[in-house]
Structure 1
Amino acid sequence: MATETHTPRTYGNWRKPTSPGLMGLGSLGTMLLLGGLIFMVFVVMAAGLAAGIVVGASLGGMLLVLLVKDKHDRNLLSRMADRVGWWNTRSAGSHLYRSGPLGRTAWGTFQLPGLAAPSRLSEHTDSYGRRFALIYVPFTGHYTVVLGTEPDGAALVDSEQIDIWVAGWGRWLANLGDEPGIEAASVTIETAPDTGTRLRREVTTHIDPDAPEFAKAMLNEAVNRYPAGSSTVKAYVAVTFSASARSGGKRRKPEEMGRELAARLPGLTQGLGSTGAGAAHPLTAQELCEVVRIAYDPASAVLIEEAHAAGQVPELTWPDVGPTAHEASWGSYVHDGALSVSWSMTAAPRGNVQSGILSRLLAPHRDIARKRIALLYRPLDAARAAGLVEADLRAAEFRQTSSSKPSARDALATRQARATAAEEAAGAGLVNFGMVVTATVLDSDKKPDAVAAIDNLSATARLRLRLVHGAQDSAFAAALPLGLVLPKHLKVPVELREQL
C-alpha cells in the first residue's frame, strides 16, 4: 500500500513598504540631503569655507536624527517626538481622567476617554432579524459593527482542516478589499479567568434532589474547585466602514448606514463560517457595553455574570461604560483598580512560519489576569494595491542597484517584493496589518511578571513587540473591539512618516 505524507504548510513573505532613497533614507530624507548639499555649496561660494562648515555640521546633525535607528526601525526623530508629546500631555494634565458625578466632565457620566470619547452607539436590525450595535466616530467618519465568534480551536483537528481554515481566512480578508466602503477590520482575542458562575448555574439547575449525597458532594466540590485556574477565551471581529459612499461624498447618518449594513451583515457573518471562527453573530448594544465595561473595570465581570445567572440584565448605556478614573504613564495604564501594559508589533516573523505560530501568545497565561491580542487589518482595493506593490518593487530594486556591493538583506527584499507583485498580479489581495497586545493585572506588584511573560510569548511567536511609550491609554482603546483606525488619529500622516 502506498502511503501519502502531508507536509506542513508554511506562510511568510510579509513586507513592509519602503521608500526609495540613499544611505537608508526615504524620499523626503534624500531630498533633504541633496537640497542641503546644494545649499552648502552656495553658502561656501557666498560666505566662505567657515560658513559652509557650519551649514554642513547642521545638515549632518539633521541627517543623524533620521539615520540613527533602534531595533524597531524607529529613528531618533520619532523617539524625540514621542518624548516631547508626552511632556506636553503631562503638562496639560491630559494623562489623568476623572468621570462620573464627581468627575471633571460637565455632564457627569462615565464617558469613554481618549480616542473613543466622541464615539456614539446606536442599535439596528439586520435582514435576519438580529439586533446589532453600530459605533459611530464623528472625528474620522467611521461606522463599526462588532461580530462575536466562537472559534473551534485547533485541538484534535487534522492539519488539512486547519489549512482549509487558513485559506478561508485569507479569502475573507481579500474579499474585504472588494467590499465597498470598508476601511479596516480587527480581530480581538481576549483571555480572562473564569468566574465559575455559568458552571454553578448549570450544575445547580440539573441536580436531582433525590440523588445520593455522595454524588451531590462530588458535584459541589467540582463547582468549587474547577473555576480555580480555568479561563475563558472570547473572540470578536470588528469591521469598520466609511460614512461616505465615495471619496469626498456626503456622510451618511446612523439610520442610513444601519439600513445599508442590515443587508450586508448576513454575508459577512456567513463568510466567517469557513475560517474556523464558528458561529458568528453581531453583538447587540447591551453585549458591546458589557464587553467594554469589563475591559476597563475587570471587577465588574463577576457582577455582570451573576446578574445574568439570576435572569437579570444589567442595563448599561454607552455613556456609562468608561472608567471612573484612569492615569496613563510612560509605560503603563492604571484604570479602575487594574493596571495594563500595551505593546505594538514592529516586525512580523521573518522567514516562513506554520499556522500555529501564535498559539502560545493567544493562550491564557497564569501571570496575566486578562490578555487581549488585537490583529488590525486595513484592506486595500485592487487599484491602490497594484500601484503600491509596483512602487515597493521599484524602491527595493533602487536600494539594491544603488550600491556596487548590495547586502544580502537588500537582495532578499527585492525577491520578496517581486514575489508580492507577482501574487498581486495573479489576483491576490493586499492587506496592511499590525498587532496590539495588552496585558492586564489586578495587582501592580505583578506588572514585572506580566511584562516578562509577554516578552517570552512574543519570542515564541517570532514577533518583535515594542512597548507603546507615552500612549498607553490610546493603545488600550485600540486593542478593544471598537474599530478605531489608528492612522486616522495621527497628527503626522503615516505616508509622510514612511517617506523619512
Structure 2
Amino acid sequence: MSTGTEPRTYGNWGKPQSAGLFGLGSIGTAILLGGLMLTVIVVMTSGLLEGLVVGAVVGIVLLAVLTKDSHGKNVVDRVTARVGWWSARSRGANVYRSGPLGAAPWGTHQLPGLAAPIRLTEHIDSYRRPFAMLYTPATASYSVVIATEPDGAALVDTEQIDSWVADWGLWLSNLGDEVGLIAASVTVETAPDSGARLRREVTMQLDPNAHTLAREMLQQVVQEYPASSSTVRAFVTLTFKASNSSGGKRREAPEVANDLAARLPGFTRTLQSTGAGAAVPLDAAGLCEVVRVAYDPDAAAMIDDAHALGEPVHLDWTDVGPSAAEASWDGYTHDSGFSRTWAMTVAPRGTVQSGILSRLLAPHPDIARKRVSVLYRPIESARAAALVEADLSAASFRVTSTTKPAARASLAVRAAAATAKEEASGAGLVQFGLLVTATVSDPADAADAAAAVTNLGAASRLRLRPVYGSQDSAFAAALPLGLVLPKHLKIPVEMRGGL
C-alpha cells in the first residue's frame, strides 16, 4: 500500500497452491512418484514392453493434469465438466417445469436446482425489524440478507473513499472472528428503471393550476427519463452454520433466529461506515420479490407499479421460482429472460486502485440486467496462521525445486511472505471469488451482452470464463441466497487444488 499523496493501491492476493514437482500439486506429485515406482515394478516383473505401456499411461494422465488453458483449467477439469453435462442432459436434469401443469408433484413454482431445498422464515431482530432467514438443508446453514443503499463515489473526496475501503477491509477481517459464520457475499444488481416511482411522485406533486409549459415539461420528463435510467441495488448475505463449533450441538431454526436477531444490528451498524449507506435486514416479502424478478424479469414492471400505487405484493416462497427453465452448455433460459454467468478465474494481477470494479458494476446499455456477486469465505484466526505458513512453504518449495525458477514463482514467494507478515500483525484472511450474470430479454442479444461482459472484465483486469455446463447452478449462486458452492461439490476443493 502506497503512502503520501499518491493514490492508494491494493493487492497481494494469490491462489492457494500445494507444493509439488514440475508444476504439480501434492496429489499430482504423489501420482508421478507412484507411477514411476509402478513402472519400475512392471519392468522388473513383466518386461520392458509392459513397463513402457504403464509408463505411457502414467505420462498421459500427468500430461492431462499439466496441460492448462489461460483460465487454469486442465484437460481433466474440462473432460469432467463435459461428462457431467452430458450425464445431466441425458437424465433431463437441465430442464425444469413447475406450476400446476409442471413435472413437479407439488404444483407450485418452487426454485430449481441447488436452491430447491431452501426454506424461508421471517423473524424480528432486537431493533424490531423483520428479517428473512434462509435454511439450506444440504449444508445445514442459515443465511440472512441485508439490503444496502451504496453512497457511490461521485463527488466524494479521495480521503473518504480511502476511509470506506479501510473500514470495508476491517469489516471483512472481523468476519473471521464471528462465531459460526462460514461465508458472506456482496451482490450488486443493475436493471432498467420502470419509471413507476417517478410517475407517481410527479403526479402527486403536480399542481393542476401550474403553467402549461411547466406541466408539459414534467410530463415529458416522466415519459423520456426512465428510458435511459437504471436502478442499482446491493445486498450483503451472511451465512452461518447450524452449530457454533466443530462437532458441537446442531441448533434448530428458532435458536439460530434468536442468535441472529441479537447480532444483526451490529452487522448493519458497522456496514454503514463502509460506504454501504443505509443497511437494513431484508424481510421475507422483499427477498421474494428479488428472487422472483431474477427468474422473471418482466415481473419487475408489475411489482414496481404495485409499489407505486401503494398496493401490497403477495408473493410466497413457493411461487418465486420460474415456471419454465432450461440450462444449456453456456446459457440459462428462464421465463422471460436468458442469462449467462461468468466466474472469475484470475484476479487482477499486481496492484489496483479502489475503483477497479467501477465499470463492471455500472449499468451497461447492452445488458438489460446485470448481477455481480463477490463471494467471501472468511478463515478463522486459528486456521489463518497455518494456511499462510503453508502457502509460504509451498511457494518456497517451487522456487528451490529448480535451478532456474520462473519470475512469477519468485514473486509468489514475496507475496506469500508479505501475506504471512500481515497475518502475524493481526490482518484477517479471506478467500474470495466473483460471479457475473448478464440477463437479456431476447436470446438474440446474448452475443452483445457477452461481448460487453468480456470488455468490462478486461477493463477491471479480471479474467472471466463462462461457467460451462453449470449455468443454472451458477445463476442461483449469484443470487443473495447464501449458497456456499464448495460445499456442494462432489470432489472437495482441496483435492482439486492438490492436482
Report the alpha carbon displacement of residue 46 of structure 1 after superposing the two structures with TM.
0.8
Using the alignment, how far apart are the partners of 2:208 and 2:215 within structure 1? 9
Please state if 1:132 is matched with 2:128: no
- Cα deviation per residue 1:235-260 (whole Å; 9 max; x = unaligned)? 00000011112112232222111111
- Cα deviation per residue 1:94-122 (whole Å; 9 max; x = unaligned)? 00000000001101000000110000000
- Corresponding position of 1:357: 356
Instruction: Give the secondary-structure state (helix, strand or coil) at the position aligned to 1:205.
Output: helix
**Unmatched segments (≥5 aa) in structure 2:** none
Please state if 1:171 is matched with 2:170: yes
- Corresponding position of 2:96: 97
- Cα deviation per residue 1:298-338 (whole Å; 9 max; x = unaligned)? 00001011111111111101100000100100000000021
Map 1:39-438; keep pairs closer than 5 Å: 39-438=38-437
Using the alignment, how far apart are the partners of 2:38 and 2:242 within structure 1? 46
Q: What amino acid is the match of 2:396?
A: E
Report the alpha carbon displacement of residue 5 of structure 1 after superposing the two structures with TM.
7.0
Instruction: Give the secondary-structure state (helix, strand or coil) at the position aligned to 2:403.
Output: coil
**How many residues were matched structurally?**
497
Q: What amino acid is the match of 1:453?
A: A
Instruction: Give the secondary-structure state (helix, strand or coil) at the position aligned to 1:377.
Output: strand
Using the alignment, how far apart are the partners of 2:5 and 2:297 within structure 1? 44
- Corresponding position of 1:494: 493
RMSD across aligned positions (CA)? 0.9
Report the alpha carbon displacement of residue 7 of structure 1 after superposing the two structures with TM.
1.1
Report the alpha carbon displacement of residue 64 of structure 1 after superposing the two structures with TM.
1.0
Q: What amino acid is the match of 1:49?
A: L
Please state if 1:439 is matched with 2:448: no
**Unmatched segments (≥5 aa) in structure 1:** none
Using the alignment, how far apart are the partners of 1:409 and 1:385 within structure 2? 24
- Cα deviation per residue 1:227-283 (whole Å; 9 max; x = unaligned)? 011101000000001111211223222211111111000000001011000010000
Using the alignment, how far apart are the partners of 1:222 and 1:19 within structure 2? 59
Instruction: Give the secondary-structure state (helix, strand or coil) at the position aligned to 1:219.
Output: helix
Q: What amino acid is the match of 2:483?
A: L
- Corresponding position of 1:457: 456
Using the alignment, how far apart are the partners of 2:245 and 2:9 within structure 1? 38
- Corresponding position of 2:26: 27
Using the aligned pairs only, state the percent identity.
Answer: 64
Using the alignment, how far apart are the partners of 2:195 and 2:336 within structure 1? 21
Report the alpha carbon displacement of residue 65 of structure 1 after superposing the two structures with TM.
1.2
Using the alignment, how far apart are the partners of 1:43 and 1:444 within structure 2? 56
Q: What amino acid is the match of 1:346?
A: T
Using the alignment, how far apart are the partners of 2:108 and 2:4 within structure 1? 61
Report the alpha carbon displacement of residue 8 of structure 1 after superposing the two structures with TM.
0.3
Instruction: Give the secondary-structure state (helix, strand or coil) at the position aligned to 1:140.
Output: coil
- Cα deviation per residue 1:367-391 (whole Å; 9 max; x = unaligned)? 0000000000000011111110000
Report the alpha carbon displacement of residue 42 of structure 1 after superposing the two structures with TM.
1.0
